[in-house]
Amino acid sequence: MIIYRKEKTGAIIFNTKTKKIVEIEEELFSNTKIFINVMKKYNIFENNQNLKNILIVNNISNNVLSAPLKIFLSITNECNLQCLHCFNYIDKKSERLKYIDISTLKKIINICKTYGIFELKLSGGEPFLHPNFIKILKLLEKEEIMYTIYTNGSYLSEKNCSILKKLKYLKKIKVSIEGSKEINDYIRGKDSFNNVIKNCKNINSKLIEFNLTLNRYNYKLIFDLVKELNKNNLETTIDLGLIRYNNKIKKTDLVFKSKQEYIEFANYCKKNFFDLKKNKNYFACSGGYSSCAIDVYGNVFPCGMLQHEKKFIIGNINNESFNKIWNDIKMINFNICNECQNCLLFEKGCLGGCRSNAFYSTGDIKGKDPFCTFYQESLNNM
Ligand code: SF4
Ligand code: SF4
Protein backbone atom coordinates (compact mmCIF):
# COMPACT_ATOMS: atom_id res chain seq x y z
CA MET A 1 0.00 0.00 0.00
CA ILE A 2 1.17 3.53 -0.77
CA ILE A 3 0.01 6.26 1.60
CA TYR A 4 0.02 9.85 0.34
CA ARG A 5 -0.49 12.20 3.28
CA LYS A 6 -1.13 15.87 2.68
CA GLU A 7 0.45 18.11 5.30
CA LYS A 8 0.59 21.85 5.96
CA THR A 9 4.07 21.96 4.47
CA GLY A 10 3.58 19.64 1.47
CA ALA A 11 3.14 15.89 1.67
CA ILE A 12 4.64 12.72 3.11
CA ILE A 13 4.51 9.58 0.99
CA PHE A 14 5.17 6.07 2.18
CA ASN A 15 5.25 2.59 0.70
CA THR A 16 4.33 0.14 3.49
CA LYS A 17 5.85 -2.82 1.66
CA THR A 18 9.21 -1.42 0.54
CA LYS A 19 9.26 0.73 3.74
CA LYS A 20 10.42 3.75 1.73
CA ILE A 21 9.34 7.18 2.91
CA VAL A 22 9.72 10.58 1.27
CA GLU A 23 8.80 14.07 2.35
CA ILE A 24 8.08 16.69 -0.29
CA GLU A 25 7.65 20.40 0.19
CA GLU A 26 4.92 20.88 -2.35
CA GLU A 27 1.66 19.05 -2.74
CA LEU A 28 2.16 17.17 -6.02
CA PHE A 29 -0.70 14.78 -6.43
CA SER A 30 -2.71 17.12 -8.68
CA ASN A 31 0.03 17.00 -11.34
CA THR A 32 0.09 13.32 -12.28
CA LYS A 33 3.16 13.45 -14.51
CA ILE A 34 5.41 15.23 -12.01
CA PHE A 35 4.03 13.07 -9.22
CA ILE A 36 4.90 9.82 -11.01
CA ASN A 37 8.41 11.06 -11.82
CA VAL A 38 9.10 12.08 -8.24
CA MET A 39 7.79 8.75 -6.93
CA LYS A 40 10.04 6.84 -9.32
CA LYS A 41 13.03 8.97 -8.36
CA TYR A 42 12.59 8.09 -4.68
CA ASN A 43 11.78 4.40 -5.39
CA ILE A 44 8.35 4.77 -3.83
CA PHE A 45 6.70 3.23 -6.86
CA GLU A 46 7.21 -0.43 -7.59
CA ASN A 47 6.86 -1.84 -11.09
CA ASN A 48 3.37 -1.54 -12.58
CA GLN A 49 2.23 0.75 -9.81
CA ASN A 50 -1.42 1.58 -10.28
CA LEU A 51 -2.36 5.15 -9.36
CA LYS A 52 -5.71 3.88 -8.10
CA ASN A 53 -4.00 1.87 -5.35
CA ILE A 54 -2.85 4.92 -3.43
CA LEU A 55 -4.41 5.89 -0.14
CA ILE A 56 -4.76 9.67 -0.17
CA VAL A 57 -5.18 11.23 3.24
CA ASN A 58 -6.16 14.86 3.53
CA ASN A 59 -6.69 15.61 7.17
CA ILE A 60 -4.70 18.78 7.85
CA SER A 61 -5.57 20.02 11.33
CA ASN A 62 -4.26 22.09 14.24
CA ASN A 63 -1.34 19.88 15.24
CA VAL A 64 1.92 20.34 13.29
CA LEU A 65 1.44 16.99 11.54
CA SER A 66 -2.06 15.84 10.59
CA ALA A 67 -1.47 12.58 12.52
CA PRO A 68 1.47 10.78 14.11
CA LEU A 69 3.89 8.93 11.82
CA LYS A 70 4.09 6.06 14.30
CA ILE A 71 2.16 4.76 17.28
CA PHE A 72 3.79 2.88 20.16
CA LEU A 73 1.25 0.21 21.02
CA SER A 74 1.50 -1.74 24.24
CA ILE A 75 -0.31 -5.01 23.52
CA THR A 76 0.22 -6.52 26.98
CA ASN A 77 1.63 -5.44 30.31
CA GLU A 78 2.83 -8.97 31.06
CA CYS A 79 6.57 -9.66 30.99
CA ASN A 80 8.76 -12.63 31.90
CA LEU A 81 11.64 -10.36 33.02
CA GLN A 82 11.82 -7.55 35.53
CA CYS A 83 14.53 -5.30 34.15
CA LEU A 84 15.81 -2.66 36.53
CA HIS A 85 15.22 0.33 34.24
CA CYS A 86 11.91 -0.69 32.64
CA PHE A 87 8.98 1.76 32.67
CA ASN A 88 6.51 -1.16 32.45
CA TYR A 89 6.50 -1.92 36.15
CA ILE A 90 3.35 -3.62 37.33
CA ASP A 91 2.28 -4.45 40.77
CA LYS A 92 0.96 -7.95 40.13
CA LYS A 93 -1.18 -7.82 43.27
CA SER A 94 -3.02 -4.60 42.47
CA GLU A 95 -2.97 -4.49 38.68
CA ARG A 96 -4.36 -7.37 36.68
CA LEU A 97 -2.34 -8.61 33.73
CA LYS A 98 -3.99 -7.32 30.63
CA TYR A 99 -3.84 -8.09 26.91
CA ILE A 100 -5.19 -5.84 24.19
CA ASP A 101 -8.33 -7.34 22.66
CA ILE A 102 -8.74 -7.89 18.96
CA SER A 103 -11.63 -5.43 18.68
CA THR A 104 -9.45 -2.59 20.09
CA LEU A 105 -6.67 -3.63 17.73
CA LYS A 106 -9.07 -3.46 14.78
CA LYS A 107 -10.02 0.08 15.80
CA ILE A 108 -6.31 1.01 15.84
CA ILE A 109 -5.81 -0.51 12.38
CA ASN A 110 -8.75 1.54 11.18
CA ILE A 111 -7.17 4.68 12.68
CA CYS A 112 -3.90 3.91 10.84
CA LYS A 113 -5.75 3.65 7.54
CA THR A 114 -7.98 6.68 8.09
CA TYR A 115 -5.15 9.01 9.10
CA GLY A 116 -2.30 7.48 7.09
CA ILE A 117 -0.21 6.43 10.09
CA PHE A 118 2.85 4.63 8.78
CA GLU A 119 3.91 2.29 11.53
CA LEU A 120 2.79 0.48 14.66
CA LYS A 121 5.51 -0.21 17.20
CA LEU A 122 4.38 -3.29 19.10
CA SER A 123 5.67 -3.37 22.63
CA GLY A 124 4.60 -4.36 26.10
CA GLY A 125 5.55 -5.88 28.47
CA GLU A 126 6.77 -8.64 26.26
CA PRO A 127 4.58 -8.75 23.12
CA PHE A 128 5.16 -12.48 22.54
CA LEU A 129 3.25 -13.15 25.78
CA HIS A 130 0.00 -11.94 24.26
CA PRO A 131 -1.97 -15.19 23.80
CA ASN A 132 -3.03 -14.07 20.30
CA PHE A 133 0.26 -12.55 19.22
CA ILE A 134 0.56 -14.52 15.97
CA LYS A 135 -3.07 -13.73 15.15
CA ILE A 136 -2.28 -10.01 15.69
CA LEU A 137 0.68 -10.23 13.28
CA LYS A 138 -1.47 -11.98 10.66
CA LEU A 139 -4.10 -9.27 10.97
CA LEU A 140 -1.51 -6.54 10.43
CA GLU A 141 -0.18 -8.43 7.40
CA LYS A 142 -3.67 -8.75 5.94
CA GLU A 143 -4.31 -5.04 6.43
CA GLU A 144 -0.86 -4.11 5.00
CA ILE A 145 0.17 -2.17 8.11
CA MET A 146 3.91 -1.89 8.71
CA TYR A 147 5.06 -2.76 12.22
CA THR A 148 8.14 -3.22 14.41
CA ILE A 149 8.30 -5.67 17.33
CA TYR A 150 10.06 -4.58 20.55
CA THR A 151 11.07 -7.70 22.47
CA ASN A 152 13.43 -8.89 25.19
CA GLY A 153 14.36 -11.78 22.86
CA SER A 154 13.24 -14.58 25.20
CA TYR A 155 10.71 -16.00 22.73
CA LEU A 156 12.67 -15.90 19.49
CA SER A 157 12.51 -19.66 19.32
CA GLU A 158 13.13 -21.56 16.07
CA LYS A 159 9.38 -22.08 15.73
CA ASN A 160 8.49 -18.40 16.23
CA CYS A 161 11.33 -17.26 13.98
CA SER A 162 10.17 -19.51 11.15
CA ILE A 163 6.87 -17.59 11.26
CA LEU A 164 8.53 -14.18 11.57
CA LYS A 165 10.75 -14.80 8.54
CA LYS A 166 7.69 -15.04 6.27
CA LEU A 167 6.13 -11.71 7.28
CA LYS A 168 6.14 -8.99 4.63
CA TYR A 169 5.20 -5.92 6.68
CA LEU A 170 7.51 -6.59 9.61
CA LYS A 171 10.04 -3.76 9.48
CA LYS A 172 12.37 -4.73 12.34
CA ILE A 173 12.60 -6.85 15.44
CA LYS A 174 14.16 -4.63 18.10
CA VAL A 175 15.88 -6.75 20.71
CA SER A 176 17.00 -5.25 24.01
CA ILE A 177 20.56 -5.82 25.17
CA GLU A 178 22.62 -3.87 27.70
CA GLY A 179 26.32 -4.31 26.87
CA SER A 180 28.50 -6.99 28.47
CA LYS A 181 27.11 -10.25 29.86
CA GLU A 182 27.81 -8.99 33.37
CA ILE A 183 25.93 -5.67 33.11
CA ASN A 184 23.19 -7.15 30.92
CA ASP A 185 22.43 -9.88 33.46
CA TYR A 186 22.60 -7.39 36.33
CA ILE A 187 19.86 -5.32 34.62
CA ARG A 188 17.80 -7.99 32.82
CA GLY A 189 18.30 -11.09 34.97
CA LYS A 190 20.53 -14.18 35.16
CA ASP A 191 21.44 -15.85 31.84
CA SER A 192 19.48 -13.30 29.80
CA PHE A 193 22.56 -12.29 27.74
CA ASN A 194 23.36 -15.81 26.57
CA ASN A 195 19.67 -16.52 25.89
CA VAL A 196 19.31 -13.48 23.68
CA ILE A 197 22.45 -14.27 21.67
CA LYS A 198 21.34 -17.90 21.23
CA ASN A 199 17.81 -16.94 20.18
CA CYS A 200 18.83 -14.18 17.78
CA LYS A 201 20.77 -16.75 15.75
CA ASN A 202 17.39 -18.25 14.81
CA ILE A 203 16.57 -15.29 12.64
CA ASN A 204 18.07 -13.36 9.77
CA SER A 205 20.39 -10.67 11.16
CA LYS A 206 18.92 -8.13 8.75
CA LEU A 207 15.57 -8.25 10.53
CA ILE A 208 17.16 -7.60 13.92
CA GLU A 209 18.28 -4.37 15.45
CA PHE A 210 19.63 -4.38 18.99
CA ASN A 211 18.31 -1.69 21.34
CA LEU A 212 20.74 -0.54 23.96
CA THR A 213 19.80 1.88 26.74
CA LEU A 214 22.87 3.91 27.64
CA ASN A 215 23.43 4.19 31.38
CA ARG A 216 26.37 5.15 33.60
CA TYR A 217 27.76 1.60 33.52
CA ASN A 218 27.47 0.49 29.92
CA TYR A 219 28.31 3.37 27.57
CA LYS A 220 31.94 2.34 27.32
CA LEU A 221 31.05 -1.28 26.53
CA ILE A 222 29.49 -0.81 23.09
CA PHE A 223 32.55 -1.72 21.05
CA ASP A 224 33.09 -4.92 23.07
CA LEU A 225 29.45 -5.77 22.47
CA VAL A 226 29.87 -5.28 18.71
CA LYS A 227 32.83 -7.72 18.79
CA GLU A 228 30.81 -10.25 20.77
CA LEU A 229 27.87 -10.01 18.36
CA ASN A 230 30.15 -10.38 15.34
CA LYS A 231 31.78 -13.42 16.93
CA ASN A 232 28.29 -14.93 16.97
CA ASN A 233 27.62 -13.95 13.34
CA LEU A 234 25.13 -11.31 14.43
CA GLU A 235 26.29 -8.50 12.22
CA THR A 236 23.53 -6.05 12.87
CA THR A 237 23.03 -2.47 13.99
CA ILE A 238 22.69 -1.26 17.57
CA ASP A 239 20.23 1.53 18.26
CA LEU A 240 21.43 3.66 21.18
CA GLY A 241 18.92 5.38 23.45
CA LEU A 242 19.42 7.33 26.66
CA ILE A 243 18.26 5.90 29.95
CA ARG A 244 14.90 7.46 30.92
CA TYR A 245 13.59 8.32 34.34
CA ASN A 246 10.57 6.50 35.72
CA ASN A 247 9.20 5.77 39.18
CA LYS A 248 11.34 2.67 39.52
CA ILE A 249 14.64 3.99 38.26
CA LYS A 250 15.25 6.29 41.20
CA LYS A 251 15.76 3.20 43.31
CA THR A 252 18.56 1.93 41.03
CA ASP A 253 22.16 3.03 40.57
CA LEU A 254 21.87 3.25 36.76
CA VAL A 255 21.20 6.97 36.26
CA PHE A 256 24.01 9.52 36.10
CA LYS A 257 24.73 10.91 39.54
CA SER A 258 26.52 14.23 39.03
CA LYS A 259 27.20 17.05 36.58
CA GLN A 260 30.69 15.62 36.09
CA GLU A 261 29.30 12.20 35.12
CA TYR A 262 26.98 13.81 32.54
CA ILE A 263 29.91 15.79 31.09
CA GLU A 264 32.15 12.71 30.79
CA PHE A 265 29.28 10.77 29.22
CA ALA A 266 28.61 13.55 26.68
CA ASN A 267 32.26 13.82 25.68
CA TYR A 268 32.54 10.06 25.21
CA CYS A 269 29.36 9.96 23.09
CA LYS A 270 30.46 12.93 20.98
CA LYS A 271 33.78 11.29 20.28
CA ASN A 272 32.48 7.78 19.64
CA PHE A 273 28.84 7.62 18.53
CA PHE A 274 26.76 10.71 17.96
CA ASP A 275 27.20 12.59 14.73
CA LEU A 276 25.20 15.62 15.82
CA LYS A 277 26.23 17.57 12.74
CA LYS A 278 24.44 15.05 10.53
CA ASN A 279 21.52 14.32 12.84
CA LYS A 280 20.66 17.70 14.28
CA ASN A 281 17.52 16.58 16.09
CA TYR A 282 18.94 13.49 17.76
CA PHE A 283 17.61 14.57 21.18
CA ALA A 284 14.26 15.93 20.01
CA CYS A 285 11.11 14.63 21.69
CA SER A 286 8.64 13.10 19.21
CA GLY A 287 5.76 12.83 21.73
CA GLY A 288 2.65 14.62 20.48
CA TYR A 289 4.56 15.74 17.39
CA SER A 290 5.27 12.68 15.27
CA SER A 291 4.35 9.89 17.69
CA CYS A 292 2.00 8.93 20.48
CA ALA A 293 1.31 5.80 22.51
CA ILE A 294 -1.73 3.62 23.12
CA ASP A 295 -2.02 1.25 26.07
CA VAL A 296 -3.85 -2.08 26.39
CA TYR A 297 -7.07 -0.30 27.35
CA GLY A 298 -7.08 2.00 24.28
CA ASN A 299 -5.92 5.05 26.26
CA VAL A 300 -3.83 7.49 24.22
CA PHE A 301 -0.77 9.23 25.72
CA PRO A 302 1.72 11.59 24.09
CA CYS A 303 4.47 9.19 25.21
CA GLY A 304 4.45 5.55 26.33
CA MET A 305 6.83 6.27 29.22
CA LEU A 306 3.93 8.00 30.96
CA GLN A 307 1.39 5.23 30.54
CA HIS A 308 1.15 4.48 34.25
CA GLU A 309 0.08 8.04 35.00
CA LYS A 310 -3.67 8.44 34.47
CA LYS A 311 -3.41 12.23 34.39
CA PHE A 312 -1.55 12.05 31.07
CA ILE A 313 -4.32 10.16 29.26
CA ILE A 314 -5.47 12.48 26.47
CA GLY A 315 -8.42 10.31 25.42
CA ASN A 316 -9.53 6.76 24.69
CA ILE A 317 -10.02 5.43 21.17
CA ASN A 318 -12.99 3.33 22.31
CA ASN A 319 -15.12 6.39 22.98
CA GLU A 320 -13.49 9.39 21.23
CA SER A 321 -12.33 10.20 17.73
CA PHE A 322 -8.59 9.85 17.26
CA ASN A 323 -8.54 13.14 15.39
CA LYS A 324 -9.96 14.93 18.45
CA ILE A 325 -7.38 13.29 20.70
CA TRP A 326 -4.46 14.13 18.38
CA ASN A 327 -5.57 17.77 18.17
CA ASP A 328 -6.15 18.18 21.90
CA ILE A 329 -4.17 21.15 23.20
CA LYS A 330 -2.46 18.88 25.78
CA MET A 331 -1.12 16.74 22.92
CA ILE A 332 -0.06 19.73 20.82
CA ASN A 333 1.75 21.43 23.72
CA PHE A 334 3.16 18.25 25.24
CA ASN A 335 6.83 18.72 24.42
CA ILE A 336 7.07 22.35 25.47
CA CYS A 337 9.45 22.95 28.37
CA ASN A 338 8.97 26.22 30.30
CA GLU A 339 12.60 26.41 31.33
CA CYS A 340 14.01 25.95 27.83
CA GLN A 341 12.27 28.85 26.10
CA ASN A 342 15.29 31.18 26.19
CA CYS A 343 18.03 28.59 25.82
CA LEU A 344 20.26 29.06 22.78
CA LEU A 345 20.70 25.31 22.43
CA PHE A 346 16.99 24.77 21.94
CA GLU A 347 17.10 25.55 18.22
CA LYS A 348 20.52 23.96 17.89
CA GLY A 349 18.92 20.53 18.32
CA CYS A 350 17.99 19.97 21.95
CA LEU A 351 14.38 21.13 21.53
CA GLY A 352 13.80 20.93 25.27
CA GLY A 353 14.74 17.36 26.13
CA CYS A 354 12.52 14.57 27.41
CA ARG A 355 9.23 15.43 29.18
CA SER A 356 9.01 12.05 30.84
CA ASN A 357 12.48 12.56 32.36
CA ALA A 358 11.40 15.97 33.58
CA PHE A 359 8.21 14.63 35.15
CA TYR A 360 9.76 11.67 36.93
CA SER A 361 12.71 13.66 38.27
CA THR A 362 11.05 16.99 39.18
CA GLY A 363 7.33 16.13 39.41
CA ASP A 364 6.65 18.81 36.75
CA ILE A 365 6.00 17.77 33.13
CA LYS A 366 7.10 21.25 32.01
CA GLY A 367 10.20 21.17 34.21
CA LYS A 368 13.83 20.71 33.25
CA ASP A 369 15.15 17.39 31.98
CA PRO A 370 18.02 16.22 34.26
CA PHE A 371 20.00 15.45 31.06
CA CYS A 372 20.22 19.22 30.37
CA THR A 373 23.95 19.25 31.26
CA PHE A 374 24.48 16.31 28.90
CA TYR A 375 22.66 18.07 26.02
CA GLN A 376 24.58 21.29 26.67
CA GLU A 377 27.92 19.53 26.65
CA SER A 378 26.98 17.53 23.53
CA LEU A 379 25.68 20.48 21.53
CA ASN A 380 28.13 23.20 22.58
CA ASN A 381 30.65 24.13 19.89
CA MET A 382 28.74 22.21 17.22
S1 SF4 B 1 20.07 22.45 26.76
FE2 SF4 B 1 18.83 22.34 28.63
S3 SF4 B 1 17.83 24.37 28.85
FE4 SF4 B 1 18.63 24.16 26.72
S5 SF4 B 1 16.89 23.45 25.52
FE6 SF4 B 1 18.07 21.64 26.15
S7 SF4 B 1 17.16 20.93 28.12
FE8 SF4 B 1 16.43 23.03 27.69
S1 SF4 C 1 8.84 12.36 26.55
FE2 SF4 C 1 10.92 11.50 26.39
S3 SF4 C 1 10.66 9.30 26.00
FE4 SF4 C 1 8.71 10.35 25.55
S5 SF4 C 1 8.75 10.79 23.36
FE6 SF4 C 1 9.54 12.60 24.43
S7 SF4 C 1 11.77 12.31 24.48
FE8 SF4 C 1 10.85 10.31 23.99
Counting from 1 in the atom list of ligand 2, the atom nearest the Cα of 353 is 7
Amino acid, res. 199: N
Amino acid, res. 192: S
Question: Using CA positions, which residue lies closest to atom 8 of ligand 2?
Answer: 285
Q: How far is CA 61 from CA 42, 108, 115, 299, 325, in A?
A: 27, 20, 11, 21, 12
Q: How far apart are CA 307 and CA 302, in angstroms?
A: 9
User: Residue 335 CA: which ligand is closest?
Assistant: 2
Question: Using CA positions, which residue lies closest to atom 6 of ligand 2?
Answer: 285
The predicted model scores a pTM of: 0.93
pLDDT, tens digit, 9 for 90 and up, residues 15-64: 888 888 998 887 777 778 888 888 888 888 877 777 777 888 999 989 99
pLDDT, tens digit, 9 for 90 and up, residues 68-116: 999 999 999 999 998 999 888 665 555 667 899 999 999 999 999 999 9
pLDDT band at 240 (very low <50, low <70, confident <90, very high): very high
CA 127 to chain centre: 14
User: Residue 341 CA: which ligand is closest?
Assistant: 1
Per the CB < 8 A criterion, the answer to whether 322 and 113 are in contact is no
Counting from 1 in the atom list of ligand 1, the atom nearest the Cα of 372 is 2
Is 287 touching ligand 2 by the criterion CB < 6 Å?
Answer: yes
Three-class SS state of 279: coil
Going from the Cα of 22 to the center of ligand 2, the distance in angstroms, rounded, reads 24
Amino acid, res. 145: I
